[in-house]
A and B are shown apart, each in its own frame.
Chain A
Amino acid sequence: MKHTIKNIFKITSVALALLCSTGCEKVDFGDINRDPNQTTEPITSALLTNALGLASGRGIAATVWDQGGIRTIAGYYAQYFSQTQYTEFSRYTKTTTNMDLFYAGVMNDLQMIIDYNSNDATKEQAAANGSNNNQIATARILKAYNVWWMTNLWGDIPYSQALKGSGNVPYDKQQDIYKDLIKELKEAVDQFDGGASFKGDILFNGNITRWKKFANSVRMLMALQMSKVDANLGKTEFASALSHAAGVIESGADNATMVFPGGAYDNDFYNYYNVVLRDDEAVAKTMTDWLSSRNDPRIGAYGSSSVGFPYGLTRDNAVAFGNANTNFARPIHPGLRTATSPIVVLGAANIWLARAEAASRGWTAENAATAYAKGIEESMRQWGVYSATGLVTYLAQSSVDLAAGSALDKIINQAWAAWYPNGMQGWNLWRRTNLPALTPAPGQASPIPRRIAHGANEQNLNPTNWEAGVAGYTVNGEKDSQWGRMWWDN
């Protein structure tokens, strides 16, 4: 027996020796754990195309309208649209949305462009797609634009410590974010150099001048958004952006317009109505009434008909109305929502009307009426309904004519109409100015929401910071409330 045990030990030690003779080293398996379908190096131009065209849903055009998503819901609150079948959200059922995919999608694509062009090890390789400075500047502008709309929905959000790989990210105050975004836009505009422009730019096709105008224009809108809380800073920044040598968006040629190639990348409205075949959205009667009361020619472009859908009906009433009016107005005239129809993200109309408002507030020395008329003209041009005589007649109406009184009110009303179908912007405007005067959904005790609440991921994945980040948004005992107010809405 002794002999046996000795043998067993011998065997075991030989076995272990064998294990160790090979086991203490790595076996070379070659490339078999490297996915042959993917590359290890990012191509920055492809990241830019992705950030503009596809990231986080459907790219920058989805910030205007996202087929029933959060940006569309903002359009219910602005009463651009009304739900026609399941009407919960146009009746203010709480909606919650996670921010994750926006950070991990478009924002991280842009951050990667910045990092790849900044890092000494990779910047030379990245320069194949445009000068490092031009790439970084473009990415900074787009990042600032995306953070801007995000903070306008949720308020305080992770910003300064975001996109650094760690999930434990504190929230920044909205006022601090605004200040930093303005700084970013300023610096980015000045960062462009004379080198090659950024490849893969499907928004401005590498036209740096247009990027600068876009950045200055976004800066003006940010400044204006502060009118209620920090008019001094707003005024300074507005004027600074407006007087910047690179200029701002002034005509349709400068517009930030997403042009869809069709096929795999088609217009969002076309996709919704012609591919996915949904029918849940209608132009709200609030909008059609506003347009028809001013004999506004845009009514023919904004919807498939001029029959607006009464805002915020209960399901029963919505179904009944839909049946009685099968030709109710679906958003955007079908001729303007083909597969390749463009979507204007930010247009000259919006900027002129912002200038009119600034002038009216005394922030600039510009003539408010001139800017106002220019804004309406650009909007009509944008929708293909402009005629010189038509504009004159339109402007002469007392409901439109600034000289007839309530100038600021009229300017903001026109700005609201011109932002259509960009619901976030319409809602921004309403929250800041309470204009136009909107009536909440009928029979609904709750007022119009003023904020979007966070989805469950924030609570689950960033609990401590979420707790602190939503501390200012408790309303009637409800944490993270949709009636919490933005810094600029106080």
Chain B
Amino acid sequence: MLFAMQMTILLSFAQNKTVTGRVTDENGSPIPFATITIKGTKDGVSADADGKFSVRVKGTETLVISAVGFTDKEVNISNNSNLSINLLKSASDMKEVIVTTGLGIKKSARTTPYSAQVISSENMGITRQNNLSNALAGKVAGVQSRSQSGAKLNAETFLRIRGGLGIGDRAAIFVVDGTIANSFDINPDDIEDITVLKGANATALFGSQATGGAIVINTKKKSGGAGSVGIEVNSAVTVDKVYVLPRYQNLYAGGSLAELARFTWKTGMPDDWKALDGQYYHDYTDDASWGPRMSGQQYIPWYAWYPGHSRSFRTAALLPQKDNNRDFWRTGITTNNNVSFSKSLQGANVRVSYTNQYQTGILPNSSADRHTLFFTGSVDLNNHFTVATNMTFTSLEIKGDFADGYANNAGANFNQWFHRDLDMKLMHEYKDLRSPYGTMATWNLRFNPDGYSPAAPENFYKGNYWDNPYVYYAERPRVTYRNNMWGDASLTYKLNNDFRIKGTVRKNQTTQHFENITTSLLQNSALQSGNTAGYATGEQNIQRYDFELIGSYNKKFGDFAVSVNGGGNIFKFKQDDVLSNTNGGLNVPDLYAVANSKNPATIGNTRLRQQINSLLASGDIEYKKIASVSIAVRNDWGSTLSDLKPSLFYPSAGASLVFSELIKTRPAWFSFGKVFGSWGRKPESLGIYATNFTYAVNQNQWNGNFLMGVPNVFPDPSLTGALITTIEGGLDLRFLKNRMGLNFVYFHETADKIPVNIPVNGASGYTNTTINAAKVERSGIELILSAKPVMGRSFTWDINTTFAYLLNNPVSRLFGDQTRIAIPLPAGQGAFGTRNAQAFQILGEDWGQLYGNGIKKNVDGIPLVNPATGLLVGDPNTKYGSIVPKTTGGFVNTLTYKDFTFMFSLDYQVGGKYFSLSESWGHYSGLFEKTAAVNDRGFNVRDDVADGGGVHVVGVSSVDEKTLVDMYVDAQTYFHQFYNSQIAEPFVHDLTFVKLREVSLGYNIPVKKIGNLGKYVQGARFSVIARNPWLIYSDSKDFDASEISNIYGEDGQLPGTRSLGVNLSIRF
């Protein structure tokens, strides 16, 4: 505050009369940063981001208003002191692009000294994606979207900007009108534009939360011109179908025994079973598909053992069910309805928008219902005060959503452990089928019928590992309610046109409640499924506050424009969780209450607190919109920082020069040229309680003795926060009257001595330590190319492409003598990952190396084969390569013909490795196509080796690494060896893909020409949209490489979907 007052005193000017005004385009939308000069002088001002300006004049001058992309206009002031100025678009120029940075500061892209890509709402919303991050895929240079299937409800896509930094992976934050929000709470319909900020110089003002970059979102504030009322209705229906699934073998049935077994009825067995005496069955107990060849022979299907239905005790033909996985997934339907109202008056505008998005998931019983209410408004109270607010309220109810991962009962079940002969329609038909003992019917029985024991007959009917998936999901109801409110309220005091002070309070509050039930039926029906009946519930309350006070000074002095912002911010974070669940089952079956816990119920809570106080300032000087210099500084005092370094100071500076303005004889084709460069730092703070070394008390006592363990994480006493440095430079060029544009950026970032929690050798007494370790650098180039190849009266074609290449991303220092550190995985991820392939940071190599047990080869690269068994030899130090793709990019094409608009976006990725756990198990279990392929002798690999079958193995003897070994190996032995010998190599793939991600064909309904409709309706547009219509290329044909969500790869995740829909939007 003192700082702000200082500025007022230092900088005051005097003229005679104040003229205010607003510069808009033909539609009444504001033109930001238009230049207002007094004709004949060099004096003038810049309009603000809303097109508003005020200028002190003598009283009789003429003002010249100019803006990029518009024709200049002259206005006589005369007696008018409040001007409304309309500029006409100039035919060939591009619109001024406005970049939004920290503190809501808007800058013209013309003079921005760092990379800040702006995505317009049109390019972002080609197909109105449910999820904002998916909508950004392929449209931002240098961003890898580690996305999850669109079918996964409530999933937050991970956006990795410019490769890896630090030890773990980190995502970008989303900032909506200055407030940090969760990406899936942001309603794409309310977005006006998005600025993506990447380097330290761009994100410095956001502080330590933006270490992974920032996606800065401006919401729509108004529609139509001053005084007009805007009503928009936007409705869409999309249908989601499962897209890429692994290629399965469709020749061999379930079980581990290659022959059908003959059933012999014995005394003591149910009398009904006599009907099946002498008939054949396959092994029900094993959940793999190494069973008999399916040729339509009669066999006893699983359901035939259960009485009481039309197929009881009857055989059926044993036939492959090639689409049984696909058949399981429902067609998901998403409806998205948005209505918004807005009105702008002189000095005031409001917008209210309501959206309902209802999605039924592809998993049975799953749905997500989201309501979003958004309000934004601002009122100029008088010439000095403006009050404004942005508020979003989201309520979300998610039902039946399950964590995917190893051995989940759907995505993983069908790809890791399943029978290829199971008919999903019958599985669905028999979801209510029960055994005589009340347990559910399952395909995976604990015992085969010869194991029926009259002493314990119920055991025969119990499931071994798996339940009928339809029953499983119905018997594990789970629901999450989530309410999220975020927004801000601000009061701006405008002393004069040059100086203003803005105080803002921001809040983002999330409350969440969940209830998970596992029914007693599920527990009683299986022997080894691990489903214990139970109930879990919990509450989470997260509150984030920001208190901002910022003074701004903007002034033009002759050819120089000066802009200074400074102030302070207090950030407070508070999280409170309460969680309780039953343990060991329920005392009263089917009573789902915490108090009904068989063993002591778990009752726990978490309390997290954080505060950061900051002072910050930024300043720009611009010369004639040709050259500019910017600086920004911020200092944080954080509650999580250690006493050794209680604050972090981070400056940044940059400059830009529009050199095309300096070229006197510029060729006609060269429209614009800018060169820019910057340097900056950003902080890496410490996590909440990271410096604590404290002991937790175990909730459960042992006969009155309480328990306490020494923590496994040891914080280094010298632990402090650190800084990351970015250097960036680039060129922005436009040609042919701006019909072509090229933006080129080179960046280099260094993160040194960053605080990380890393695994440490347990013999130290601890498994992890938090320490300032590691030095990681990254550098790369980013290219944005835009072109308008066709710009006719009725036909136009726009192309926007992005391309990024990561030059290098080396880890040049680790900790102590360690040469590699495993990348920490989020909880629940990476089961069995350590047995196979795992991602590490390796000294001297690029960030995120996938390492694991591969196939050992001799010096000539020929695999070693054990000459006795034909089995491969594992090589524990096989390096597969970085998990980060080197190249990412995409195209957005817009073709307009009269009232039709055709848009499509395509994106691609080259390089980067992943390991598929499902594929590994799917081969072990004989599910994948290769496990029943035809070998080069023309026989199925599953046929006996002696009969011409077996997998052909060629290599050199593991004994001398020279002698050629050429033999055939029994298929099951061959495919089991990869798990048994922990060899990951066949299941490691490139993340390379090319995907047609979005297509939309829109038609602007010519409402003006349809009777009187034009009186009421301003515009209407109907579109047909398709999402993920075509995965053009993927290294592995079994999985969609664009939807691999885990750090190191695929882990039983949900299949991707392909969607088709229609969208209607009407503007009144």
User: Which residues of A line the B interface, CB within 8 A?
Assistant: 1, 3-5, 7-8, 10-12, 14-16, 18-19, 22-23, 25-27, 29, 32-43, 45-47, 49-50, 53-55, 88, 93-94, 98-105, 107-109, 111-112, 157-158, 161-169, 199-200, 202, 261, 263-266, 275-280, 315-316, 319-320, 322-324, 326-327, 445, 455-464
| Contact among A18, A45, A463 for B2, CB-based, below 8 A | A18
Q: Does B174 contact A (CB under 8 A)?
A: no
New contact pairs (13) apart from A18-B2, A100-B761, CB-CB < 8 Å: A11-B6, A23-B647, A32-B639, A35-B694, A49-B705, A109-B710, A163-B763, A165-B765, A200-B705, A316-B256, A322-B447, A322-B451, A455-B834
* Least distance between A152 CB and chain B CB atoms (Å): 17
Given contacts A18-B3, A327-B453, whether A167 and B763 have CB atoms under 8 Å apart is yes
- Chain B residue nearest to A16 in the complex (CB): B633
Residues of A within 8 A of B981 (CB): 93-94
Residues of A within 8 A of B7 (CB): 11
Main secondary structure of the interface of B (DSSP, over half): mixed
Given contacts A33-B640, A47-B708, contact A39 B694 (CB under 8 A): yes
The closest CB in chain B to the CB of A320 belongs to B257
A-B contact pairs, 14 of them (CB 8 A): A1-B557, A15-B3, A22-B637, A27-B613, A33-B640, A39-B697, A98-B762, A100-B767, A108-B765, A109-B709, A264-B583, A277-B529, A323-B285, A462-B763
Alpha-carbon gap, A237 to B649, bound state (A): 64
* Chain B stretch 684-707: residues in CB contact (< 8 A) with chain A: 688-689, 691-698, 700, 702-703, 705-707
Identify B762's interface contact among A26, A27, A103, CB under 8 A. A103
Cα of A165 to Cα of B713 in the assembled complex, Å:
11
Contacts from B to A (Cβ < 8 Å):
2-3, 6-7, 10-11, 256-257, 283, 285-286, 446-448, 450-451, 453, 456, 459, 526-530, 532, 555, 557-558, 560, 562, 564, 566, 583-585, 599-600, 605-607, 609-611, 613, 615, 617, 619, 621, 631, 633, 635, 637, 639-640, 643, 646-647, 649, 688-689, 691-698, 700, 702-703, 705-710, 712, 714, 759-767, 769, 816-822, 834, 838, 840, 868, 876, 980-982
Residue of A nearest to B559 (CB): A1
Kindly list the 8 A-B residue pairs having the minimum CB-CB distance in the complex, ordered from nearest: A100-B762, A46-B708, A264-B700, A167-B761, A38-B694, A158-B763, A29-B639, A26-B646
A-B contact count (CB 8 A): 284
CA distance A43 to B703 in the complex (A): 17
Identity of the chain B residue whose Cβ is nearest the Cβ of A25 in the assembled complex: B646
CB–CB B562/A4 < 8 A: yes
Contact B764 A105 (CB under 8 A): no
B286 touches A315 (CB 8 A): yes
Contact A19 B633 (CB under 8 A): yes
Bound-state CA distance A130–B54 (Å) is 80
Asked if B702 and A319 make an inter-chain contact with CB atoms under 8 angstroms apart, the answer reads: no
List, in ascending order, chain A residues with CB within 8 A of B692's CB.
33-35, 38, 40
- Chain B proximity of A295: nearest CB distance (Å): 25
Contact assessment for B646 and A14 in the assembled complex, using a CB-CB cutoff below 8 Å: no
**B459 CB → nearest A CB, Å:** 7
- Decide: B610 and A32 in contact? CB cutoff 8 A: yes
**In the bound complex, do residue A27 and residue B646 qualify as a contact, i.e. CB atoms below 8 Å apart?**
yes
Once the chains are docked, how many angstroms separate the CA of A460 from the CA of B849?
13
List chain B residues, Cβ under 8 A from A315.
256, 286
Could you say which of B640, B766, B982 has the most chain A C-beta atoms within 10 Å of its C-beta?
B766
Closest to A458 in B: B761
Which residues does chain B contribute within 8 Å of A8, judged by CB atoms?
A: 562, 564, 619, 621
Residues on A with beta carbons closer than 8 Å to the beta carbon of B585: 275
Distance (Å) between the CB of B757 and the closest chain A CB? 14
Q: How far is the CB of B981 from chain A (nearest CB, A)?
A: 8
B705 lies within 8 A of A11 (CB): no
Q: Are A53 and B702 in contact (CB under 8 A)?
A: yes
CA A138 to CA B557, docked complex, whole Å: 81
Kindly provide the distance from the CB of A51 to the nearest chain B CB, expressed in whole angstroms. 8
Chain A residue numbers with a CB within 8 Å of B649 are 19, 23
Docked Cα-Cα span, A455 to B833, in Å, equals: 13
Asked if A456 and B834 make an inter-chain contact with CB atoms under 8 angstroms apart, the answer reads yes
CB distance B526 to A277 under 8 Å? yes
Given A37-B607, A53-B702, A53-B707, are A460 and B764 also a contact pair (CB < 8 Å)?
no
Closest-CB distance, B599 to chain A (whole angstroms)? 5
Contacts A7-B10, A322-B285; A1 near B646 (Cβ below 8 A): no
Q: Is B600 a contact of A263 with CB atoms below 8 Å?
A: yes
Question: Is A319's CB under 8 angstroms from B283's CB?
Answer: yes
Q: How far is the CA of A308 from the CA of B766 in the complex (A)?
A: 42
Instruction: Tell me the complex Cα distance, A26–B636, Å.
Output: 11
Question: Are B529 and A38 interface neighbours, CB within 8 A?
Answer: no
List of B residues within 8 angstroms of A54 by Cβ = 698, 702, 707, 709
Give complex CA distance A158, B434 in Å: 56
- Contacts of A445 on B, CB cut-off 8 Å? 868
Q: Which residues of B contact A167 (CB under 8 A)?
A: 760-761, 763-764, 769, 816, 818
Question: A55, A111, A280, A323: which contacts B451 (Cβ < 8 A)?
Answer: A323
